[in-house]
Structure 1
Amino acid sequence: MGNDGDKGAATRRILIVDDNSDAAELLAELVRLCGYEVAVEFSGPSALRTVLGFQPHVVLLDIGMPEMDGYQVAQLLRAMPDLNGLRIIALTAWGDAEARARTAACGFNLHLTKPAPLPALLGALEAG
């Protein structure tokens, strides 16, 4: 998952995973306007299929999704040895202490609550 030492926005790939397609597409457009390469998926299984080919630097991952929640997706991503440098950021409406503890336990790097302020979101995409 190397980015050849360039951490500029133009080379960073972001995978957005959210079952709310309108919210995901709106966020994707915003992130694209900031110069990132973006892929969008609307379910955990589709995100897992996309991540290996797209090789994102960061995954913005919703928690409350049907079929496979964000906790399960994060755990499966963390089990993939080729994704050691991947940053996983929870972007969810669930902001209580229990949800935050679970995201930490499942391998998320950061927990942002929707709607995340744009400066915090963009800072999170560049961190690490």
Structure 2
Amino acid sequence: MASCTQQPFVLVIDDNHDSADLMVELLQACGYSSAAAYGGASGIEAIRNFSPDVVLLDLLMPEVDGFQVASTVRKPGFPHQPTLIAFSALSDTATTDLAMRSGFDYHLPKPATIKQVITVIANARARKQNPAPAYSNRGDGPTPAAGEAAPAFNYKSGF
């Protein structure tokens, strides 16, 4: 594993305080610098103020949901563009498609093991450091032809 100085800063945004705090503790135990925000509005402010590299973002939250957070962060002029990972119990195709259209980079269904979370974060970091090619095959299908949209990154259980 890389040293802590090479690990990205991960912000966890979830309205469930216990879930967010547990994920922060697990990430910290794995050497990641991480923090939690407890809802969409506070998550947007945390992204503005702390410029995280990666955001694990719940989709279903009251008032400001994860889709709204992603759409806000992806607007032109927003001061920071982290990698956004939808982290939700919703894992159907329509939700994954909506997440990608809202500005997410990845979709990781809950429940997920810490190994799956770390793998998605590592893949996100590698993709950001080496953006070409823009598509990285998940290993479950052919690489799309030029001009085709890449499918959403979606981990399935079975690790």
Interval of TM-score (by shorter of Structure 1 and Structure 2): 0.7 to 0.9
Aligned to 2:63: 67
Offset at residue 114 of structure 1 (A): 0.5
2:98 partner SS: helix
TM-score by length of 1: 0.87
Contact 1:14 1:56 in 2 (8 A): yes
User: In the alignment, does 2:19 pair up with 1:23?
Assistant: yes
Amino acid at match of 1:12: P
Higher helix fraction (1 or 2): 1
Amino acid at match of 1:67: E
Root mean square deviation, CA, Å: 1.5
Runs of 5+ consecutive residues of structure 1 not aligned to the other structure: 1-6
Offset at residue 81 of structure 1 (A): 4.2
Among the aligned pairs, what percent are the same residue? 35
Trace 1:1-128 onto structure 2 (pairs within 5 A). 9-10=4-5, 11-79=7-75, 80-84=77-81, 86-127=82-123, 128=127
Counterparts in 2 of 1:65 and 1:106: CA distance versus 1, 3 Å: same
Runs of 5+ consecutive residues of structure 2 not aligned to the other structure: 128-159
Q: CA deviation digits over 1:28-77, x for unaligned, max 9?
A: 10001111111101111101111122110000000000001100000001
Offset at residue 107 of structure 1 (A): 1.0
Greater CA radius of gyration, 1 or 2? Answer: 2
Offset at residue 83 of structure 1 (A): 2.1
2: CA distance between counterparts of 1:37 and 1:88?
16
